[in-house]
Amino acid sequence: TAPHLIAPSLLAADFARLGEEVAAIESAGADWLHLDVMDGHFVPNISFGPAVVQALRPHSRLPFDVHLMIEPVDPYLEAFAKAGADHITIHAEAGPHLHRSLQAIRALGVKAGVSLCPATPPEALSQVLDMVDLILVMSVNPGFGGQKFLHGQVGKIRTLREMINKTGRQIRLAVDGGIDTETAPVAVAAGADVLIAGSAVYGRDDYAAAIRALRSA
Ligand code: DX5
Ligand code: ZN
């Protein structure tokens, strides 16, 4: 099987030095940069918006993997695409019209992702598998970095891997929350091929060593 990708989450970076932090993670060998957008409404925390994504774009050639934890989402999709997002991931729980939102993302010419909170079953995606390029399983409740991996989500990763394989399409399966060298092998064994990690990369002194450790985990 192909090696899994490592997507460090900027949420755990030094917000006073974001440009340098983005450049440093590229030099350290990251595959994607994960950007967590929080609105204080869908999730109980506020992070940053499209202006910050746009300001960071010239500091990196990495794919920008934008995770929107916002509701509503449709009014902001174009702004994130214009800001330089390569992937836009929305939450299945963040509105009544997931299908329409995915159509809107694809119409903007960026890759479309859907994320599921811990309480949402994998079947929530059964009718949109032909419209997604990326599925993101939350292994913590969204809103904060540094939380403990919820082992109850491993079965969902396995089920989604089977669902993806049946489509015959190239759909990435990402896991986000509490990923470290202990939980990374569990997620990969269940079928994840993208590991999103905040504390376990930006929370370390040596980013390159932290990325290598997750890669070989
Ligand atoms: C949480 C975010 C995650 C977070 C992960 O809502 O979606 O991307 O930054 O942080 P760690 O790896 O510290 O759990
Ligand atoms: Zn995230």
What is the predicted ipTM? Answer: 0.99
Quick check: bond before 72 cis, omega within 30?
A: yes
Is any ligand 1 atom within 6 A of the Cβ of residue 84? no
Active site (annotated) includes residue 36: yes
pTM, to two decimals: 0.98
What pLDDT does 217 receive?
Answer: 85
Q: Could you tell me the CA-to-CA distances from 55 to 13, 85, 147, 205, 208 in Å, in that order?
A: 15, 12, 28, 25, 24
Q: Assess whether pLDDT exceeds 80 at residue 94.
A: yes
Closest ligand by atom to 113 CA: 2
- Average pLDDT value for residue range 166-181: 98
Q: Is 60 annotated as a binding residue?
A: no
Query: How many CA atoms does the CB half-sphere of 60 hold within 13 Å?
Result: 32
* Domain-wise residue ranges, the chain: 5-216
- Residue 45 CA: nearest ligand 1 atom is 6
Is any ligand 1 atom within 6 A of the Cβ of residue 45? no
**Tens digits of residue pLDDT in 76-90:** 999 999 999 999 999
Tell how far CA 143 is from the center of its chain: 13
What sign does the dihedral 60-61-67-72 (CA atoms) show?
positive
What pLDDT does 158 receive?
Answer: 98
Both tokens assigned to 132: 């997604």
Q: How far is the CA of 135 from the centre of ligand 1 (A)?
A: 15
Q: Could you tell me the CA-to-CA distances from 110 to 61, 83, 176 in Å, in that order?
A: 16, 12, 20
CATH architecture, range 5-216 = Alpha-Beta Barrel (3.20)
